[in-house]
Structure 1
Amino acid sequence: MSAIHIALLGYGTVGKGVFQTVKTHQNRLKSILGKEVKIVAVLVKNLGKHQLSDEEVILTDDFEDIIKLEKLDVIIDAIVGKEPGFSYLQQAIHKGCHVITANKEMFAHHGTELKRLANEQDVTIGFEATVAGGIPVIQTLKQLLNVNKVEKVQGILNGTSNFILTKMREDGLPFDLALKLAQENGFAEADPTNDIEGYDAFYKAVILSELVFGESPKWEESIREGITAITSEQMDVFSSLGFRIKHVASIEKTTKGIQCTVKPVLVNEAHPFYQIEGVQNSVSIDADIVGNISLQGPGAGMFPTASAIIEDLIHLGKKSNRLSYLEQENESNKDSIHPFWLIGGGVNASDLPAPIQVIERIHSNVLIVQAPEEAVNAIHIPDVYYYQILGKLECKKILVSN
């Protein structure tokens, strides 16, 4: 059985979650992907701080040790900051590796470029883990976008700020003490600026905007407000009126362009965000056909984020198992895509006229081609037969039989 060889960049909370999940769910992964999933290398910043349970896995602080590996199919990015993650993923894509990232800051700044590069190199880039942790919002939006027109997306996208606001209201804590509690529980970093000032939520909103609307909002025109100015006295007033305050990111396409805001807002009991408490995240999607869909779940943490990464790996693996010529159709050019044919009887590729594109030789006497029907009908070679292939052939082994 062949294997999917993975290198893991980063061995912090998320990296360890991925490493452990691959190890504990190996049988499940094999049954879904039909292959063993092997983490072959882990990149860390400080070798002295880390130790792996598997001695066969390369532990290194030099990315060159990873990128030069002969057997390498996927690179999973679980580090933070715009660099060196962006440079690492560029190199990985140029090498022909699929990539999966949980780095929302890097992807908000460079996601468009990485997606373009991945398309050019014919590899896949997964980024479910960049938004809302374990909530499958990216895959949900991809499914909706097949037919629906998404009009607005709103979300509680940062568990740290939501935890702080919850504790301020429930326990009557001032902001500083609620922040300290978040740090003690591992929900906030020593420097919590990205969370409490709305940068983290804004990066996620940018990623969602590019997915939903095909472009990002103008950063300089977007509104980003943190939660540091909210006081205990304000909380009392809000509660007395039946409101709860939530830190909400919103993206919407208007006649003026894409409007993006991240700011504290009030919601009443009728709103789906009213019950979203603690480190939970939630996303509300408005689309023209389905109406409103609300998703909620853990927005961060070791295993929720690892779950999103592993699900990206599953989607990637399913695509990789398909024949190379059965890639997803280009919707903008759908009518011009020619059907696939099986041609047998010992024909040589050089004997076929130019309009017929040879995709793959299955046996010495069988070819898979893509061509307009009239070109195939024009083949007049003794003992050669051909049949059009209807539908999609999911797995190469269906064709290869001897």
Structure 2
Amino acid sequence: MADIHVALLGFGTVGKGVYETIKVHQARLKAILGKNVKVAGILVRNVEKHQLQDEDVLLTSNFEDIINLPKLDVVIEAIVGREPGFSYLKKSIERGCHIITANKEMFAYHGNELLDHASRYKVAVGFEATVAGGIPAIQTLRTLLNVNKVEKIEGIVNGTSNYILSKMREDGLAFQKALQTAQEKGYAEADPTNDVEGYDAFYKAMVLSQIAFGEQPEWQRVTRKGISGVSHSQIRLFSEWGLRVKHVISLEKGARGISCSVKPVLVGPSHPLYSVEGVQNAISIDADIVGNIILQGPGAGKFPTASAIVEDLIQLNAGQGCYFEREETIRFKKDPQLNWVILSKQTNLFIPESLEVIGRLEDKALFVKGKEKDIDKLLEVYPGLKIYELYGQINNGFLQKTQLSSVSLERKVAVPKGI
């Protein structure tokens, strides 16, 4: 009975988690696979900084030592950044190895190329860990929703941002203080830009789009906003209305292609993402047969991410790691009407006829319904406006039609240039 020989590229938090998981759960893996799983080599930057009790494992800073191992079946990559991970995985494929990656940035850029390359060499690719850590979002879309046509995906996929927003609301902290707390707990990096400005969530959205719809949106057309502009005073005001700020990815395929946004939104109590707090992640999938599915759990960390990688290892060896194109999804109407909250005390703010005013709450905000393109035009005229998309239904009665008298008068103001 031959062993399954595995190499780890990167030995940080994720790499160590995979190594420990394989060692601790060896009996369970053997029962499932019928073979032992052996870590044959580990690639690190600095060999002197690492110590292993297992003398049979090659510890090296030279990738050529890894790729030239006499026995090598699977290469697991957990390196930050597009390179050198991409080049290493291409060479691993050419060696005839299955590959598994947790690198969402690299895979967002180069996933299709790796998948095509793997197909030519008849090996498999696992990438569950690129999105939402231990939550099986990729496997659900790839293997469990084949007959279903995915209509929409929404998700909280960055635990750092979600933790910061939760602390700001629960403890009344300003953004910088909440970020500092996240860094002290190890949830945020010393340079948190990738998380708090939405890049991490953006890459994950691209991976999900590829799986759900067979393609990615044009990157330059994706709205990407982080949470650094969300103030404590805004969160406190929204809390009074029963709303919560969440950093959400949204994917939907329509007549003009895939629409995608990565931004802070307001979530009402009826929305499935409303109760997702702290470092938790959640993916909401709407499909035509099953309806709505919610997957929630730890989105990052040593063992949740290792769990996703090891589960990929099982799938690859069961012959279920091959990528496939999804059928064309159903088409949606163009430019749907969305709900928006406009934070403004201006009494002479002009609201174009294309936006339906639902109500005004005192002198603090307007609630409107309309298309995103009309909101964009409004922002061109009033670039300082704070506008949030509103998810979920509002049932607490504070939006009343009787509040519209002053709003109706505003439409008589001369139209500002640009609207």
Tell me the number of residue pairs that the alignment of Structure 1 and Structure 2 aligns: 327
Query: What residue is the counterpart of 2:335 in the other structure?
Result: none
Counterpart in the other structure of 1:23:
23
Q: Distance in 2 between matches of 1:331 and 1:63?
A: 35
8 A contact 2:212–2:326 mirrored in 1: no
Q: How does 1:71-220 map to 2 (within 5 A)?
A: 71-220=71-220
The alpha-carbon deviation at position 331 of structure 1 amounts to: 9.9
Q: Deviations over 1:85-136 (max 9, x none)?
A: 0000000001100000000000000000000001111000000000000000
Shift of 1:271: 1.1
* TM-score, reference length from structure 1: 0.79
Cα contact 1:252–1:258 (8 A) shared by 2: yes
Amino acid at match of 1:59: L
Once the two structures are superposed, residues 41-60 of structure 1 have per-residue CA deviations (whole angstroms, 9 ceiling, x without a partner) of 00001112111121110000
Query: 1:28 and 1:100 mapped to 2: Cα distance?
Result: 20
What letter is aligned with 1:286?
Answer: D
Residue 241 of structure 1 aligns to which amino acid in structure 2? W
In structure 2, C-alpha distance between the alignment counterparts of 1:275 and 1:151, rounded to whole Å = 23
Q: For the residues of structure 2 that align with 1:135 and 1:257, how far apart are their CA atoms?
A: 27
Give distance in 1, aligned partners of 2:68 and 2:312.
24
RMSD of the alignment, in Å?
Answer: 1.7
Q: How does 1:216-295 map to 2 (within 5 A)?
A: 216-295=216-295
Moved over 2 A (4+): 327-332
* Matched-pair contact (CA < 8 Å) for 1:155–1:282: yes
**Paired residues of 2:284 and 2:293 also in contact (CA < 8 A):** yes
Once the 2 structures are TM-superposed, how far is the Cα of residue 258 of structure 1 from its aligned partner? 0.6
Paired residues of 1:105 and 1:200 also in contact (CA < 8 A) = yes
SS of the counterpart of 2:318?
Answer: helix
Q: How does 1:390-401 map to 2 (within 5 A)?
A: none
Deviations 1:337-367 (A, max 9, x none): xxxxxxxxxxxxxxxxxxxxxxxxxxxxxxx
Given the superposition, is the C-alpha separation of residues 194 and 231 from structure 1 closer, same or farther in structure 2, using an over 3 Å criterion?
A: same
Equivalences for residues 302-321 of structure 1 within 5 A: 302-319=302-319
Letter in 2 for 1:53: Q
Cα separation, 2, equivalents of 1:329 and 1:35 = 27
Cα distance in 2, alignment partners of residues 108 and 294 from structure 1: 23
Which consecutive unaligned segments of at least 5 residues does structure 2 have? 328-419
* Aligned-partner SS, 2:22: helix
Would the aligned equivalents of 1:251 and 1:259 in 2 still touch at CA under 8 Å?
A: yes
CA drift at 1:269: 1.3
Alignment match, 1:386: none
Establish whether residue 54 from structure 1 lines up as the match of residue 73 from structure 2.
Answer: no
TM-score (norm 2): 0.76
Deviations 1:169-203 (A, max 9, x none): 00001000110111111111111111000000000
Opposite residue 268 of structure 1, the aligned amino acid is G
String of CA shifts for 1:46-93, please: whole Å, max 9, x gaps.
112111121110000000000011200000001110000000000000
Describe the shift of the 1:315–1:144 C-alpha distance in structure 2 as closer, same or farther (beyond 3 A). closer
Deviates more, 1:153-162 or 1:267-276: 267-276
Shift of residue 143, structure 1, vs aligned partner:
2.7
Alignment deviations for residues 1-55 of structure 1 (CA, whole Å, 9 cap, x no partner): 2100000000000000000000000000000000000001000011121111211
SS of 1:271's equivalent in the other structure is coil
- Work out whether residues 11 and 42 of structure 2, in 8 Å CA contact, stay in contact via their aligned partners in 1: yes
Aligned residues of 1:206 and 1:217 also touching (Cα < 8 A) = yes
Partner AA of 1:33 in structure 2:
L
* Matched residue type, 1:111: G
Amino acid at match of 2:203: Y
The 3 A distance-change label for structure 1 pair 329 and 45 is closer
Bigger shift: 169-178 or 140-149?
A: 140-149
Query: Over residues 314-335 of structure 1, what are the superposed CA-to-partner deviations in whole Å (9 max), with x where a residue is unaligned?
Result: 0111129x9xxxx999999xxx
Deviation by residue 1:366-400 (Cα, 9 ceiling, x = unmatched): xxxxxxxxxxxxxxxxxxxxxxxxxxxxxxxxxxx
Query: In percent, how many aligned pairs have the same letter?
Result: 65
User: How far apart, in 1, do the equivalents of 2:325 and 2:270 lie?
Assistant: 41
With over 3 angstroms needed to count, the CA separation of the structure-2 counterparts of 1:285 and 1:60, relative to structure 1, is same
Could you tell me which residue of structure 2 aligns to residue 399 of structure 1? Answer: none
Contact 1:276 1:282 in 2 (8 A): yes
Contact 2:73 2:97 in 1 (8 A): yes
Between the aligned partners of 1:218 and 1:331, the Cα distance in structure 2 is 19
* Partner AA of 1:214 in structure 2: G
Distance 1:55 1:179 in 2: 41
Return the alpha-carbon distance in structure 1 between the equivalents of residues 276 and 142 of structure 2. 24
Q: Secondary structure at the match of 1:319?
A: coil
Q: CA deviation at 1:144?
A: 4.1
SS in 1 for 2:319: helix
Whichever residue aligns with residue 22 of structure 2, its letter is: V
